[in-house]
């Protein structure tokens, strides 16, 4: 595909937080030229002979979407998802770069397990990175283990720290482990619920999904967050996953003001659902839980104010049989629906459009990915084109092995038209 040429014409290019009408030329796997209409010299004609033309009239042309938070469940739980179905779901959702979480079986906690996972992932068309899971065992040498893995050309992007039990066996109990990890130069991504606090509420009976926010209350997020701060310095790279509550968001605000560097991630379900708009179904059971309306409204307000740095789908598929069982696991699929949820919120006036595209492409900068992230000559051609065309999320069109979506029936005015990865038109 090296000598293939693609021209994307008549679209609005999302560049520097603005939408500018222009033409994008792709040669091989790189962006060759970006021509912005308003800067164009009168009568300047570009010959498009030999190009495959994509007409992007009524479309927004964005750099490819980046998802920092996916669970492709492989190895170990291939019946829930694998790299074929998961990548298909990602591309369908407009993502060109995904980063996979370590709570697989074996868990990704050392070189061997990451080599196993990387061998599974490496032939997929999508760009990807991996995380290593912190344990009380590997924490003493976590910096060295990390650099050894990088030397093997595995694209390790951060350390995932589970402070509360979620899916899988990864859990950090010793505070010293957190300290060791935060002393490295790498990004630490926290599942920010405190296990000891969760234990205090574990006897509350799960009768309906509405009980879940009491079983895993927001106070557990606050306790976990203070543990992180206690063991960090102002140079630590702290990344808080899926912020679900007003309380936690306010606390993060406070510590940012004191000079702590904290990357704040929001997941679409915490920006869309609350106890008032979900059905009584365990399809909506997720860690941390769907919270109250006051939390939802506050998170949306923060979304527009620029508080959040990134959107993470937290794509966490389980089979529908598991989700409907007596003891349903937590988590929901999200790769195929994240863009549509945000587009729906945009057309309802809940969030701003440029913020939406910004947060779907901000991962490149946060994780220091070279030559990607911006529509710019010389960068890799990872492009997501969305068109003004209605779309409805339907359970029967889900390609993830989860085979359901909690957003079934949700409508959006925009839909994913094309996805280009490394110069190749994939969708
Ligand atoms: Zn997750």
User: What is the reported pLDDT for 169?
Assistant: 75
Average confidence (pLDDT) over 335-362? 96
Please give the distance of CA 312 from its chain centroid, rounded to a whole number.
Answer: 2
Confidence band of 304 (pLDDT split at 50, 70, 90) = very high
Q: How far is the CA of 61 from the centre of ligand 1 (A)?
A: 28
- Top pLDDT among 205 and 45 is at 205
> How many Å lie between the centroid of ligand 1 and the Cα of residue 124?
21
Going by pLDDT thresholds of 50, 70 and 90, the confidence category of residue 42 is low
Task: Answer positive or negative: Cα dihedral of 324, 325, 328, 333.
Answer: negative
Q: 101 C-alpha to center of ligand 1: Å?
A: 7
pLDDT tens across 220-235, in order?
999 999 999 999 999 9
Give the distance (Å) from ligand 1 centre to CA of residue 314: 5
Q: From ligand 1's centre to the CA of 167, what distance in Å?
A: 8
Q: What is the rounded average pLDDT of the residues 48-64?
A: 97
- pLDDT (average), residues 162-178: 89
N-term to C-term CA, the chain: 15
**What pLDDT does 166 receive?**
81
State the pLDDT confidence band at 39, using cuts at 50, 70 and 90.
Answer: confident
Measured in Å, residue 43 CA sits from the centre of ligand 1 at 52
SS (H, E, C) 61-102: EEECEEEEEECCCCCCCCCCCCHHHHHHHHHHCCEEEEEECC
Mean pLDDT of 200-214: 95
pLDDT at 122: 96
How many Å lie between the centroid of ligand 1 and the Cα of residue 100?
A: 9
Distance between Cα 286 and ligand 1 center (Å): 9
68 CA from centroid of ligand 1 (Å): 10
> What phi and psi, each to the nearest 5 degrees, are found at residue 147?
-70, -30
Distance 4 CA to ligand 1 centre (A): 37
pLDDT of 197 reads 96
Confidence band for 199, pLDDT divided at 50, 70 and 90: very high
The whole-number pLDDT of residue 183 equals 97
pLDDT digits (tens, 9 = 90+) for 407-417: 999 999 999 99
- Tell me, what DSSP letter sits at residue 397? G
Tell me how far the alpha carbon of residue 401 lies from the centroid of ligand 1, in angstroms.
Answer: 17
Q: Which DSSP letter does residue 209 get? A: G
Length of the chain: 427
pLDDT of residue 200: 96
- At 115 the pLDDT is 98
Read off the pLDDT band of 65 (50, 70, 90). Answer: very high
What local confidence, expressed as pLDDT, does residue 167 receive?
Answer: 79
pLDDT exceeds cutoff 70 at 68: yes
Give backbone dihedrals phi and psi of 55, rounded to 5 degrees, phi first: -85, 115
Taking CA atoms, 11 is separated from 21, 32, 422, in Å, by 6, 16, 20
Q: Distance, CA 239 to ligand 1 centroid (Å)?
A: 13
Each residue of 77-97: pLDDT tens digit?
999 999 999 999 999 999 999
Q: What is the pLDDT of residue 40?
A: 77
Please provide the average confidence, as pLDDT, over all residues in the chain.
96
From the CA of 424, how far away is ligand 1's center (Å)? 29
pLDDT, residue 38, reads: 85
Residue 2 has pLDDT above 60, yes or no: no
CA distance 261 to 267: 20
Rounded distance from Cα 331 to ligand 1 centre (Å): 8
Over range 309-330, report the average pLDDT: 97
Residue 188 alpha carbon to ligand 1 centre in Å: 14
Share of the chain above pLDDT 90, in %: 95
What are the distances in angstroms from CA 284 to CA 62, 82, 328, 410? 30, 22, 10, 15
Cα 267 to ligand 1 centroid, rounded to whole Å: 10
Question: Quick one: pLDDT band at residue 127, thresholds 50, 70, 90?
Answer: very high
- Nearest C-alpha neighbor of 387 from the set 419, 411, 413, 361: 413
Which residue bears the tokens 């994780």? 367
Answer yes or no: is pLDDT of 41 > 90. no
CA 316–ligand 1 middle distance (angstroms): 6
Task: Tell how far the Cα of 240 is from the centroid of ligand 1, in angstroms.
Answer: 11
Average pLDDT of span 346-372: 96
CA of 69 to the centre of ligand 1 (A): 6
**What separation in Å is there between the alpha carbon of 33 and the centre of ligand 1?**
37
- Residue 124: name the closest of 83, 79, 74 by CA: 83
C-alpha of residue 1 to centroid of ligand 1, in Å: 35
When pLDDT is averaged across residues 99-115 and rounded to a whole number, the result is 97
> How many angstroms is it from 170 CA to the middle of ligand 1?
12
Q: How remote is the CA of residue 41 from the centroid of ligand 1, in Å?
A: 49
Residue showing tokens 């997020």: 221
* Ligand 1 centre distance from Cα of residue 70 (Å): 7
Give the separation between CA 359 and CA 357, rounded to whole angstroms: 6
Distance from the alpha carbon of residue 40 to the mean position of ligand 1, in angstroms: 45
Q: 1 pLDDT exceeds 70?
A: no
């Amino acid at each position: 595909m090296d000598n293939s040429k693609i021209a994307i014409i008549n679209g609005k290019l999302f560049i520097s937080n603005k939408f500018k009408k222009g033409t994008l030329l792709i040669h091989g796997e790189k962006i060759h030229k970006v021509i912005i209409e308003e800067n164009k010299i009168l009568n300047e004609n570009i010959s498009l002979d030999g190009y495959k033309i994509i007409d992007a009239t009524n479309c927004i042309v964005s750099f490819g979407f980046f998802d920092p938070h996916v669970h492709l469940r492989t190895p170990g739980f291939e019946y829930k998802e694998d790299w074929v179905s998961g990548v298909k779901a990602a591309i369908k959702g407009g993502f060109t770069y995904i980063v996979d979480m370590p709570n697989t079986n074996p868990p990704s906690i050392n070189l061997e397990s990451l080599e196993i996972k990387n061998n599974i992932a490496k032939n997929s068309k999508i760009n990807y990175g991996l995380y290593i899971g912190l344990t009380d065992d590997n924490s003493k040498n976590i910096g060295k283990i990390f650099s050894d893995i990088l030397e093997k050309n595995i694209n390790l992007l951060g350390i995932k720290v589970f402070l509360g039990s979620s899916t899988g066996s990864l859990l950090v109990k010793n505070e010293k482990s957190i300290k060791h990890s935060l002393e490295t130069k790498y990004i630490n991504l926290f599942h920010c619920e405190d296990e000891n606090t969760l234990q205090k509420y574990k006897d509350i009976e799960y009768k309906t999904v509405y009980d879940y926010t009491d079983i895993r209350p927001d106070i557990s997020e606050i306790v976990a967050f203070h543990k992180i701060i206690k063991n960090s310095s102002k140079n630590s790279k702290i990344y808080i996953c899926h912020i679900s509550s007003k309380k936690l968001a306010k606390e993060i605000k406070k510590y940012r003001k004191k000079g702590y560097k904290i990357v704040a991630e929001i997941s679409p379900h915490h920006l869309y659902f609350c106890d008032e708009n979900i059905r009584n179904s365990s399809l909506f059971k997720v860690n941390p839980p769907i919270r109250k309306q006051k939390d939802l409204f506050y998170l949306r307000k923060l979304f527009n104010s620029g508080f959040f740095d990134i959107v993470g789908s937290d794509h966490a598929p389980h089979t529908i049989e598991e989700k409907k069982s007596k003891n349903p696991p937590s988590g929901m699929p999200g790769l195929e629906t994240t863009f549509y949820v945000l587009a729906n919120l945009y057309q309802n006036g809940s969030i701003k459009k440029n913020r939406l595209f910004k947060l779907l492409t901000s991962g490149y900068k946060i994780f220091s990915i070279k030559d990607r992230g911006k529509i710019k000559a010389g960068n890799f051609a990872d492009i997501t084109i969305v068109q003004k065309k209605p779309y409805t999320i339907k359970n029967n069109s889900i390609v993830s092995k989860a085979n359901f979506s909690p957003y079934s029936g949700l409508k959006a005015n925009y839909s994913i038209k094309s996805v280009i990865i490394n110069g190749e038109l994939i969708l």
